[in-house]
Amino acid sequence: MESNDVCMVGIYGLGGVGKTTISKAVYNRIKNLFEGSCFLEDVREMSKINSDKILLQKTLLSKILHRIDLNVYNVSEGTNLIMQRLHGKKVLLILDDVGDLKEVENLLGKYNWFAPGSRVIITTRNKQVLTSLGIDHRRIHKVEELRQCEARELFIKHAFQASKYGEDYSELVEHIICYANGLPLALKIIGSDLCGKNIHGWKSTLEKYKNIPHKDIQEILKISYDGLENSEKEIFLDIACFFKGYKKDDVANILDSCELYPDYGIGKLIDKCLITLRYDSGSQYYSLSMHDLVQQMGREIVQQESEELQQRSRIWLYEDAHKLLTGNMGSKKIRSIMLLSPERTEVSLKSNVFKRMKNLKFLVGNVHFGEALDYLPELRFLEWRESPLSFSSKCCLPRQLVALKMSESNIILENVVKQGFQYENLKMISLRSCEFITKLPDLCCPNLEKLDLGDCRKLIEVHESIGFLEKLKVWNLGGCSELQILPSMLKLKSLEYFDLVACSMLEKFPDIHPEMNCLLALDLRWSGIRELPSSLLYLTRLFKLSLNNSKLTNFLVGANKSQMQEEEDIPSAKLRLACNSSNNISGPTGFQNVTFLIISRCPGIKGGLDSWMQPDYFPILTYLCLSYTGIDTIPESISRFTTLQLLDIQGCKKLRHIPRLPQSIRTVDAQNCYQLDTQSRSRLLNQFGEIIGILPNTIAQAATFFVVDGYLILPAIEIPEWLKFNHHQSVGNSVSFLVGPKFSNLVVCIAIPSKYNIGYTCEFDIFINGEKQFKSSTWGAIGNYDHVWLTYGEVYISNPSEENRIELKVTPVYISKKKKTPRFSVNRLRIYVECICCPQKPNASMDQCAFNNGEEDSGRVGIGRRLRRRSHRPTHARRPQKHYLSRFGWLRIRFQLWKRSSKPWRRQITNGFHDQGSSSVPNTFSMMIPRPILLHQLNPTLKRRDAANTWEVDTPVKTPNVLLSSFLAV
């Protein structure tokens, strides 16, 4: 409203979602701010005939000008009159339920006729109308369905006319809310319909709605369908009856073969809010979705086509499909059949059951036919799930077929793929877990894009021609445990994903043709491959290479001829990855786009990595996993991997040396690297201190690196000295404190003795102002050695106030059920809240390590001096206090856990954090929060024991000393 320009706003959404209600509320609230205002309802409906168009124009003029004697004789004259009379006026105009652009032009012509400050709001079911008007996309708003709590409130208002209802209605209320799926129109109509009925009336009405939609709801939703072109209607009904939940690209390919122009049609359906797209981040594809009531509306349209099953275009109910097929009632009208039984069953059908269905395009089922099929019509899509579908020798795949999906089938490809035929339309084949496939023949599918043969455990050989499918994008052979022979050469120009996971009998990887440069991910985990060709370097777009659990015995990259000569003496069982001049390879000398390199659990990988670990070979490497290999050192060259963020070396039991890592590093997992030398451990701890920003050598812009979560795990005796500051004390398995509005970064550090890390995980939760902000994270045991775990991240507080309560809660969870797994209980949990606002007597070495050098940093001048000036203050507060930390201040919270010993219940914790009578290795959880901070000490009942600042706590708990492993998102 503050803007002084002429502003047009668009509101769009599904019919009945509340567009009119919202626009009316806005209109009533702001209409008095304008010289004139008008709310025009049902613009689409009123624009169907000429007289009603004129009536709309007269209504607009009379309401804004407050005159009823205006005469308009035709639409063109009315448009000109609106321009003349309303020119220069500051108006509020709402055009409700607009159908197309012409309707707006009849009323407004150009909306910039109006005076500055005018507002025009248009509601529509079709987003394209708003886009065509040139409305800024930032002023186009989609009205979403109601959330569950809002839907319940609206329904109760109409069904009970009160806020309370009997418990016997509770379950039915939830069923109806689920059925309406957030659509206000349905909630209002159904609520009003049920109002005053008893419980039996509710149940019977709900059952009716599940099969027959309410007439009023149906009519409102069907308006959008009626405005579609014929091809768009066909696409909509196919999705409503058949393809809801399928991948968009697959459906587009199938419908394109039916000449329905799906790219255009699906876009129109999205604009009209009849369908939506859902993105699956894991699989990275869009699937087709639809509101349940819209789907029901579409299916009802098909039901109304005919009383007779064989005269309907689409059959999707199992009972209907079973009746149709067992009664041999097929006809040319039938376009698609879905025969999906809720449980596995056998249906006795004739071998030529589909003979009469000449126009059948889509067939989906999961039942077992009693005999092999002799005939298939001109199908575009065939999917048979988890049940054998047999073809006789007379039957072959239709040449028009676009997608074939048959899992766990007894299909024999040599029988159904007719030799000599070109299956030019076939773009997708999925034959997962088909145990009768032993050889993949020449498929004669030049346009094939997806080939999935996962878990075909008897597949041995792939025909040479498959290596030359130029359109193939995805090829999955994962789980083909008997596979031994691939094409000798791969010239798959479009291939992006290649999966050979668990192909344990496959020892040789094919040569790569120079034109095969689109591959993004190559997965060779658990494969039997012993040798990779030097031509692999042609995969210039490869970003992820997974080799873990494979039989590789080395990973070598030869950068020059002399090195290659030396490599000729290496046994052929070792991996050769090089630019071998004998292979006439020129061009790239490394993996220029690899960001993920995973060489894990390959026991044959031993020694150093100098031969291949060069930054020139992996210029943008981000993730490097070398876990559970036999390496003994990380070369100094790793410091030049300027994009490396994660290094996983856990379980490398021979690893002794790690140099300084690049400044980009954010995560290092070195658990169970127990031969790591002391210098390497200290170097890692100090480097992570610099990354977090708590050591003096912090780079000037350290805070900008808190972009992703990070952590460090390594064998160590205890928490480093630079994390140990003075403390306040609390009791229990949780800690809470108050912070100011700018609280952000969080650091967690735990020291865990080896005897406490077997057979359990730990859940770590954070609550902000009573609301859980982070889902519980669980971590397992990390071996039989003392470790330190350091994690860091950033906390976001929505709607922060001057004081915000942060609570951290720790809950142990046992996971081991083995009888020999030692069990233990922790009798006491001690929590320390630490901040540098009241430091203890400084330790010289710690002070020098953590602060002295900081005085030379222009950003941290005088920190050490200020801390030393404050050192005379009492270490612990006697009562609750507010602590305002300095500009460079940090709050630290430490948990300490240990098992019951023979000592008395009352035990002492000293400033050195040693448990008298227990292990000298503290079991500690430390947390740091950077400035600015406001802290209330939460437990005023703690008492000082003596002048030596020793405190006592009695807190019996039944929790083990576990690894706290959740780090917070930045």
Asked if 861 contacts 757 with a C-beta cutoff of 8 angstroms, the reply is: no
Q: Is 868's pLDDT higher than 80?
A: no
> Is pLDDT larger for residue 391 or for residue 230?
230
pTM: 0.69
Provide Rg for the chain, Cα atoms. 36
Q: Please state the separation of Cα 273 from the chain's center in Å.
A: 23
Residue 699 CA: distances (Å) to CA of 25, 703, 705, 927: 54, 9, 10, 21
481 DSSP assignment:
T
| Measured distance CA(875)–CA(866) in Å, rounded | 16
Maximum mean pLDDT: which of 150-164, 168-182, 758-772, 815-829: 168-182
Q: Is 841's pLDDT higher than 70?
A: no
User: In this predicted model, what pLDDT tens digit does every residue of 272-326 receive, in sequence order?
Assistant: 999 999 987 766 789 999 999 999 999 999 999 999 999 999 999 999 999 999 9
Section 124-137 average pLDDT? 92
> Which has the minimum average pLDDT: 303-312, 677-686, 855-864, 887-896?
855-864
Q: Is 914's pLDDT higher than 50?
A: no
Structure tokens at 745: 């970064």
pLDDT at 893: 39
The pLDDT-based confidence of 805 (bands split at 50, 70, 90) is confident
137 DSSP assignment:
G
Spatial neighbors of 880 by CB under 8 A, at least 6 apart, are 936, 937, 938, 940
Residue 907 CA: distances (Å) to CA of 226, 800, 827, 893: 79, 39, 12, 20
| Measured distance CA(565)–CA(602) in Å, rounded | 25
- The one-letter amino acid code at 15 reads G
| Measured distance CA(569)–CA(635) in Å, rounded | 24
Q: Is 879's pLDDT higher than 90?
A: no
Q: Is 544's pLDDT higher than 80?
A: yes
The pLDDT-based confidence of 906 (bands split at 50, 70, 90) is very low
| Measured distance CA(780)–CA(762) in Å, rounded | 8
| Measured distance CA(933)–CA(803) in Å, rounded | 10
pLDDT at 543: 86
Percent above pLDDT 90 for the chain: 38
| Measured distance CA(647)–CA(652) in Å, rounded | 12
> Is pLDDT larger for residue 144 or for residue 348?
144
The pLDDT-based confidence of 546 (bands split at 50, 70, 90) is confident
DSSP code per residue over 753-793: -GGG-SSEEEEEEEEETTEE-S--B------SS-EEEEEEE
Asked if 23 contacts 143 with a C-beta cutoff of 8 angstroms, the reply is: no
> Which has the minimum average pLDDT: 381-385, 739-743, 822-826?
822-826
Return the percent helix, strand and coil in the chain, to nearest 5: 25, 20, 50
pLDDT at 747: 67
Instruction: Give φ, ψ of 339 to 5 degrees.
Output: -115, 75
Asked if 81 contacts 72 with a C-beta cutoff of 8 angstroms, the reply is: yes
| Measured distance CA(635)–CA(517) in Å, rounded | 30
H/E run at residue 127 = helix 127-132
Q: Is the CA virtual torsion 399, 404, 408, 414 positive or negative?
A: positive
